[in-house]
Structure 1
């Protein structure tokens, strides 16, 4: 579309120049053949003014054409040729993510020495708090990552993200998944560039332990409980969980609620037509506490920290046999010990709930993984530079190959077809066949309600709130938000 517009503008310029040359030649001939009368002189003055106007129009068209040529050279947006500094925040504190993402920044700066990118890598949970503080104090970075959903919408409403629809439509050559673009959008405009990858969740398990005990991969929640009981009887912790971070434990709540009531009960609770005290959420809270009392989780589960890898650690020492977690854990385990990971770790989808009318193919996770939004205000040069970084370096072949090698599947059509890791093949299969993707509650819900959700989940695992108390607290937070 841009190329056609450029060709049209250049054609108009050429025709105008030819026309002006013809007018000038005819005027010179007339001038030498006779002495003009006053009327003729007036006509000549008008002609001169018209020619001047046409010349100005020609110059404007040429300038616009030159601008178009600069921006679309090679079919890609070009970085302005001036000194620019971009501040960038993300959560890539550990390898392989740190090396992959910093590598994209380094390649960009090597190709564009006039642009300096100041990166700050912050741990996941701390990041969310620091970003809010930075926004409230006027120190929001130019380019920052997020997970989409409710928080992204609030960043947009607060004025900390610029719309990217025109840039994405005209200068983005990446075939992102439709679901990824949808989760990057708000009220009809695109506000983020996806760059992480799909973030499904399911259960990693130790194949060696399962084989030793003669266990089969469970297809239903009843079968899962049978497996957990057998593991417990043989002195294994059924589920490795580090729930100091709160969101890790909430995966159980989300899946159990989805298996009972699908996405419909969650959507109804969020828009106010339903409630977080409904049967689906009651079932989820009741089941979590039943499993806690049965000893399915580590002692001191709420004091273990996933950012420190304490959940993976219980898998490595083979004290625990299963771990419900995000698909990114495949990359982390493979990076820690590739041989052990390959020999011991398998993966299965969260089991189905018998007799439930809800769609059992639902995956809890995200199609966007991560997205970059831009707090560049009216600075179009900085916006262009940041957009080039996000689309041409965070999503180029080098970046995508590194992502796949590390066990992360970019949110780009066709990427799943190249996967070699059996665990990631299953994750992609489950994700691709899912009727719906339930976005993580802590990303979908407004921040205040998200905090209530995570805190009440932690209370459930600590047995310090009853299921009824926990769900009422969550519902009260949702009702307060809707009322305001």
Structure 2
């Protein structure tokens, strides 16, 4: 709360200082005349007092201290209200100078409506810090519109190193065939190989098929399907669904995997009943709180699948929000807005994210004291990123996929039938 008040007071004091200099004389220590200052409005969703939001607010304050000629007037709006307001104001072309935006389907209409300013001329500022894979979701038709701050890996394998060692595995399997042998060995030791809570259906889609599908099809597959240049009936996708079917048939999961949720499945892992859990980075905080002291947790990518066309090093991930510039800005205001982006998305901010337990959309060395699991996820996601299905496909297609994957694990639908259902849905 203190930082929120500080941010507001800093802005108010600077404005009052400017108003009090009616004679045009330079205010003491302000670095210039009031008329030389540029004021920019920024809408954001940093209303909750989380460590990540505190880092964001502190970064804005730091920027204004280092750039006394640029004033950032912030309006923090709760998430759900913000999304409604952004759409409403966009329709009337009444957007702020700077605004938080989301990638994909939420960014596209703002770009197609000509409401956002491309930042191609400054994107080189982040060379070596933010990778092309991390920038990709904010690029449309060859132009870049924002820099992502954080990213969420949705599909990786958490595993109990001690349980695997007892089964004879000092290292995590590199290939899918080795992975299946591990599952067999764990079952013979009366250990649940993989805990799964798919009651809400989305887990198999977001964490499983987003990783396994990419191993088989490659990262261009989904965009090609959406463009009508590829089909879900492609043999590679059918085989990817077949991997999930095979895992279910070989008893890799807990018996009630379609009756419990992803919170309950985490308990099976932290209690030692299950050796592995395929889940996203959102479980990091809960694992830190729930895992017993001394639990030796490792994190791995899904193993390489022989015959697949995808990059075996890729991990499925989605980037978080970015800050975009209003296309109406020009001259000094536009230059100030670009300067703000360069001063906001810095190595210091990304390191602060790591310290807050958030994986940044950047490749930075972790400061001392960063949680080892957060650091490991950051390492895994520093290379190639693959698309997450529900960030690319429509809600209707995702609904068909979610329920269909559950049916495949129950044995009531084949991978081929699900592929046909999906293709029929996307062609509607």
Superposition TM-score, scaled by structure 1 size:
0.63
Residue aligned with 2:233, SS: coil
Counterpart position of 2:73: 115
TM alignment of 1:183-222, pairs within 5 A: 183-197=137-151, 199=153, 201-216=155-170, 217-222=172-177
Cα shift at 1:225: 1.8
CA distance in 1 between partners of 2:342 and 2:364 (Å) = 17
Runs of 5+ consecutive residues of structure 2 not aligned to the other structure: 1-30, 65-70
Equivalent residue in structure 2 for 1:363, among 301, 310, 314: 314
Q: Equivalences for 1:50-449 in 2 at 5 Å? A: 80-81=38-39, 84=41, 86-89=42-45, 98-105=50-57, 108=60, 115-121=73-79, 131=83, 143-146=99-102, 148-157=103-112, 162-165=116-119, 168-169=122-123, 175-197=129-151, 199=153, 201-216=155-170, 217-244=172-199, 246-250=201-205, 251-263=207-219, 265-302=221-258, 304-306=260-262, 309-327=263-281, 329-330=283-284, 332-334=286-288, 336=289, 340=293, 343-354=295-306, 356=307, 358-366=309-317, 369-374=319-324, 378=328, 392-393=343-344, 395-396=345-346, 398-415=348-365, 427=377, 430-431=380-381, 436-449=384-397
Tell me how far apart the structure 1 counterparts of residues 380 and 126 of structure 2 sit (CA, whole Å). Answer: 28
Deviation at 1:322, TM superposition (A): 0.8
Deviation at 1:324, TM superposition (A): 1.8
Separation (CA, whole Å) in 2 of partners of 1:242 and 1:154: 35
- Cα drift, residue 185 of structure 1: 1.0
Cα 1:167–1:268 shift into 2, 3 Å: closer
RMSD between aligned residues: 4.3
For 2:111 and 2:53, locate their aligned partners in 1 and report how far apart those are by CA, in whole Å.
Answer: 24
Q: CA deviation at 1:205?
A: 0.2
CA contact (8 A) 1:109 1:116 kept: no
Higher Cα radius of gyration:
1
CA contact (8 A) 2:155 2:208 kept: no
Aligned length: 381
TM-score under structure 2 length normalisation: 0.70
Cα pair 1:374 1:383 within 8 Å, conserved:
no
**Could you tell me how far apart the structure 1 residues matched to 2:423 and 2:149 are?**
33
CA distance 1:156–1:208, shift in 2 (3 Å): same
Distance 1:351 1:88 in 2: 39
Unaligned runs of 5+ in 1: 1-72
SS of the residue 2:239 aligns to? helix
Q: Map 1:33-52 onto structure 2 (within 5 A).
A: none
Mapped to 1, the partners of 2:37 and 2:390 lie a distance apart of 36
